[in-house]
Amino acid sequence: MSDLLEVRDLSVRFDAGRASLFAPRRWLEAVRGVSFGIDRGKALGIVGESGSGKTTTAMAAIRLTQAAAGRVLLEGEDLLTLDEAAMRARRKDVQLIFQDPYSSLNPRSRVRDILREPLDLMEVGTRASREERVRELIDLVGLRVDQLPLFPHQFSGGQRQRISIARALATAPKLLVCDEPVSALDVAIQAQILNLLLRLKEELDLGYLFISHDLGVVRYLCDEVAVMYLGRIVEIGPRAQVFESPRHPYTRTLLAAVPSLKRRKSSGFKRPAAIEGDPPSPINPPKGCAFARRCPHAKDICLSIDPALEPRAGGRVACHFPVS
């Protein structure tokens, strides 16, 4: 069991309405029985195609999206069972870094006020200690104290994301959820922000739940990687295992689509052929393995029985015929 966050059988579904007036109500199964853990000072990256459920999983884990079932244990306490007051008190331990630094900061507020706001809302410390904390935060992310009176529009994109990170750190959280935190930035600035996140993870012993479509970014930052397909984790394991010796056919195809990812010749990895077709509808998930109808290795059992996520070579894989 992980010592910071443990997600067990998390499911999320959305009302998809009715096909006709008298038809039964339909549900979009966005997340289906997802389980994972995060230790202190470690980062778990969740990757997958658009619509795979990775962002919904993260938002449900911190109660920004309502879960239909499951448990989310933060230091052993189930966040999904807390009342509003108790969850509000817990918010200081879990913070979110948004994707777009241009829209996530109030353009009418000065940086000093932006960084103070979480402290004021959660009544952390005294007025004097909050002001001192703001000065610590701006220095922690590599900006200057004399920039505190400025407005967001007076900063570059990378500097704005540093301000967003500082705001997320204001309440001294234990877990940061990073939702595509560098995708809106230039490549050179991405590297600076990733290095900052790595340093903060080590210095502050933070846990990261990192959502990204950029496999190169995940490989650089994360200690473990979870691959999602149609709302389920199909492979999860240490970074080296997932990137160098992927076991699930979908993981191998996903990695093969990124030509910039270099692999060791000794790993025995062979680039698979591109898969055809689109993922099935989450409103009516198919019986058996959701990937079976696109998988070149599928057999009859794959079309009828959904494979469990089982231990394989240091990680876990949901496949009847994992690639060796």
- Note down the domain range covering 270: 249-324
Band the pLDDT of 172: cuts 50, 70, 90.
Answer: very high
- Over pLDDT 90: what percentage of the chain? 74
Q: Is residue 306 part of a domain?
A: yes
* Residue 220 lies inside a defined structural domain of this protein: no
Least confident of 101-105, 144-148, 156-160: 101-105
Largest Cα separation within the chain, whole Å, is 68
Asked if the structure places residue 321 within a domain, the reply is yes
Residue 25 resides in a domain: no
- Tell me: pLDDT of 52 over 80: yes
**pLDDT tens, position by position, 82-132:** 999 999 999 999 999 988 888 889 999 999 999 999 999 888 888 889 999
Q: Which of 175, 161, 163, 104 has the alpha carbon at shortest distance from 137?
A: 163
| pLDDT tens sequence across 200-217 | 999 999 999 999 989 999
Is there a domain that residue 264 lies in? yes
Q: Taking the model in full, what pTM does it have? A: 0.91
269 in a structural domain = yes
When divided into structural domains, the chain yields a total of 1
Average pLDDT over residues 265-271: 50
Mean pLDDT of 159-185: 94
The answer to the question of residue 319 being in a domain is yes
* β-strand partners of 47: 227
Structural element, H or E, at residue 159: helix 157-169
* Contact in structure between 307 and 289 (CB atoms under 8 Å): yes
Percent of the chain having pLDDT more than 70? 94
CB of 307 closer than 8 Å to CB of 291: no
Domain membership flag for residue 259:
yes
